[in-house]
Amino acid sequence: MSRLEQLARDTWRIAPAGAMRVPGILYANAGLARAMDAKVFEQIVNVASLPGIVMASYAMPDAHWGYGFPIGGVAAFDPDQGGVISAGGVGFDISCGVRTLLTGLTRSDIEPHRERLADALFAAIPAGLGSTGRIHLRGGEMDDMLSGGAKWAVRQGYGRKEDLYYIEEGGCMAGALPGEVSDQARRRQRDEMGTLGSGNHYLEVQEVERIHDAAAAQAFGLREGDIVVSIHCGSRGLGHQIGTEFLRRMAMAAHQYGIHLPDRELACAPIRSPLGESYLGAMRAGINCALANRQILTHLARFAFESVLPQADLQVLYDVSHNTCKEEEHRVEGRSRRLFVHRKGATRALGAGHPELPPAYRDTGQPVLIGGSMGTASYILAGTPESEQSAFSSACHGAGRAMSRRKAAKQWNGRQVIDELTARGILIRSQSFRGVAEEAPGAYKDVSAVVNSAESAGLARKVAKVVPLVCVKG
């Protein structure tokens, strides 16, 4: 804390020193900042030393230690100033994100059927370490998926065309280069489409407990007592393999580009280099894989709901990723610049009026979907215009871990966690007791404190609080 200068109630600055090219900025209340591992501060400083970084190295209120970049880290790079792309600044689970679905149901509609619904979702949604689905992609099918994303999935019959209106990039990330995705990455993914995977991934049935912004909630289609479904997952084995391979290649090539790495985990390459362009093409293919995956899971969730509650109508509220690097236009020091914005464990949060937003959300700002843990609340926020200058239109992505998975597994028993949550009215379905222990609610920060800090800092504003009723856990 002695290195932090408090700029506002929930805004802190690390002054440039040593190799830092820009300051570090941390958004968090004093309690969250004080509780963060010192490694977070070290990583903020290290990111600030990378070539071509613009404005600052940012960290969100849910920040915790990650590989190279902190999870909850945001940094933008200018290719005209030697800016770099870092696989560690995107993360291994490329385009991990959250999709929230409206259902048209209320708590009273589902309550008599909740056990059956939990079982139907668990049967329909493949989840857990190494989980595989019923879709098996070969050859050209894989290329089509990596190029087409959720658009490809809809063409295959997984969902509706109107779903695409409420997904970032319209459901398909331009510039994907499937040829840059290795055979090993393809092999890992060929049987994993339409699966949750493990770790902190989930499908959750939630009740809207409280509305904070009535106008935005109306635009989002939310009312107190409504039932929504949130799906949190990413690009599975393919994304992890892309990250692993390119981190190795970037680390080996750093000296060729004259890049000094304060930490090998920050391996990177100039954006305008053959290696940088190869990674961007592969990463964009990984984004499309994640978008297609969440689209297929949406289709499977609709199937499960229909089998129990045929009156349900699952419509996409929004789908947003939080492990990406995107080329975007931002105003910096009074002029517009094309920058490559890394968001690792951070969510894009476009403010009202932004041209990339669906027309339905132009007056409110982008839905920002913040997941808690399986025993705590989650939040739906809206982006703010102020966030453009605060952190390149970025916000937090979840509660953020307070302890490692290994430590959590030693502290909690998975069966006991399930029983305790069941007693509170939260039904858990999981393939792994250990996985449940690793994701115990106590292993995470206080999501309300995280969200309140994001709102206080002007990154996004609260629209609705939702609480879990059923959780299918990866």
DSSP 91: -
Beta strand ranges found along 127-225 (DSSP E) = 202-211
Contact 238, 40 (CB under 8 A): no
Contact 390, 457 (CB under 8 A): yes
Pull the structure tokens for residue 50.
Answer: 């990378």
Interatomic CA distance for residues 55 and 20, integer angstroms: 12
Compute CA distances 239 → 181, 246, 267, 293, 320, whole Å.
Answer: 9, 11, 17, 12, 16
- CA angle (10 as vertex; 9, 13 as ends), nearest 5: 100
SS3 442: helix
Interatomic CA distance for residues 264 and 247, integer angstroms: 9
191 φ, ψ to 5°?
A: -115, 10
What are the catalytic residues? 397
Compute CA distances 315 → 103, 234, 354, whole Å.
Answer: 6, 20, 23
Interatomic CA distance for residues 291 and 234, integer angstroms: 8
In the chain, the amino acid numbered 76 is: A
In the chain, the amino acid numbered 34 is: R
In the chain, the amino acid numbered 258 is: G
Compute CA distances 410 → 202, 405, 440, 468, whole Å.
Answer: 22, 9, 11, 25
Residues 6+ positions from 52 with CB-CB distance below 8 Å: 77, 78, 79, 81, 82, 83, 84, 270, 271
Interatomic CA distance for residues 333 and 313, integer angstroms: 46
Nearest to residue 94, comparing CAs of 200, 236, 206?
236
Torsion angle of alpha carbons 223, 200, 434, 59, nearest 10°?
-120
The Cβ of residue 1 has, within 10 Å, a number of other Cβ atoms equal to: 10
The answer to whether the Cα torsion of 364, 368, 473, 342 is positive or negative is positive
**Residue 407 belongs to what H/E stretch?**
helix 405-411
Interatomic CA distance for residues 453 and 156, integer angstroms: 42
